[in-house]
Amino acid sequence: MRLTGSLYRASNPQAFPLNRLEPEDALRMELERALALNRIWQPIATVSLRHALTLVFRGRARIVEPGTFQLFSWEQWLAEKSVPADAHVLEGDYLRTAARLVLQPEVVTLARFAGFPNRGVPFSRRAVYERDNGRCQYCNRHVHKRDMTLDHVVPVSRGGGNTWLNCVLACVPCNQRKADRTPAEAGMALRREPEVPTRSQLLLRGVAVRPAWAAFLRDDKVVEAETPGR
């Protein structure tokens, strides 16, 4: 979904004057993210607000109002979701320009199909580290990446596999203490049962999640279960 060209090429004289965004809001356009859905409303990426608005501005995506699931073109959004710059707005995040305050879009849906979301998450040490938030799953201490060990919950010597469900992040002392035993045998409790990470977890890694996205992210495992063999 790489885009070229300038967001500010206003071919439509009615278009919102994005080039006159207040400086701090221009910065916000890069920092804030919007959730992008494919044409059948599966979340496929988070993109910068600038990228999202570019897509909408060019008619390649529409804005979804999270509360109502109503779709808006750029012009419709401007007509219905902006107020004069001197208006008092009580809730919501607005993009400030000289003339108008525009409600910040949070979700866009692409006009073209744009593919399916990433399917599974490949198993790897690094991915286990991310799934477990960098914390030892026995003592909960934060572990630096270079110091991490992969603990096999059921030891390899007992047939335990290199799988999402059998591997957790552990610090060196915990891993040594547990040794070739199950957690029960070692008297060590897991902080939580290891899981296969969901698409949303992958999608949202390192992203400040907006509450409005929740309604679009709940599918994950259900969708996975309903579409076998795809």
Query: Which residues of this chain interact with Zn ion, rule CB under 5 A?
Result: 136, 138-139, 171, 174
Q: Is 102 or 136 the residue whose CB approaches Zn ion more closely?
A: 136
Q: Is 9 or 141 the residue whose CB approaches Zn ion more closely?
A: 141
Q: Is 145 or 218 the residue whose CB approaches Zn ion more closely?
A: 145
Q: Is 20 or 135 the residue whose CB approaches Zn ion more closely?
A: 135
CB of 192 to Zn ion, least distance (A): 14
Q: Is 119 or 145 the residue whose CB approaches Zn ion more closely?
A: 145
**Per-residue tokens: 88:** 């008092």
The region, left, alpha or beta by phi > 0 then psi within -120 to 50, assigned to residue 207 is beta
CB of 183 to Zn ion, least distance (A): 12
CB of 185 to Zn ion, least distance (A): 17
Q: Which residues contact 81 (CB under 8 A, 6 or more apart)?
A: 72, 102, 103
Q: Is 103 or 169 the residue whose CB approaches Zn ion more closely?
A: 169
Q: Is the Cβ–Cβ distance between 28 and 49 less than 8 Å? A: yes
d(CA 54, CA 61): 9
CB of 139 to Zn ion, least distance (A): 3
The C-alpha R_g of the chain, in whole angstroms, comes to 23
CB of 131 to Zn ion, least distance (A): 16
Q: Is 37 or 153 the residue whose CB approaches Zn ion more closely?
A: 153
Say whether 79 sits in a helix, a strand or coil: helix
- The angle formed by the CA atoms of residues 107, 78 and 76, to the nearest 5 degrees, is 75
E strand residue ranges, 10-89: 33-37, 43-48, 61-64, 71-72, 82-84
CB of 178 to Zn ion, least distance (A): 9
d(CA 166, CA 59): 46
CB of 114 to Zn ion, least distance (A): 42
Choose among 203, 202, 125: nearest CA to 163.
Answer: 125
E strand residue ranges, the chain: 33-37, 43-48, 61-64, 71-72, 82-84, 94-96, 100-103, 107-110, 149-152, 167-170
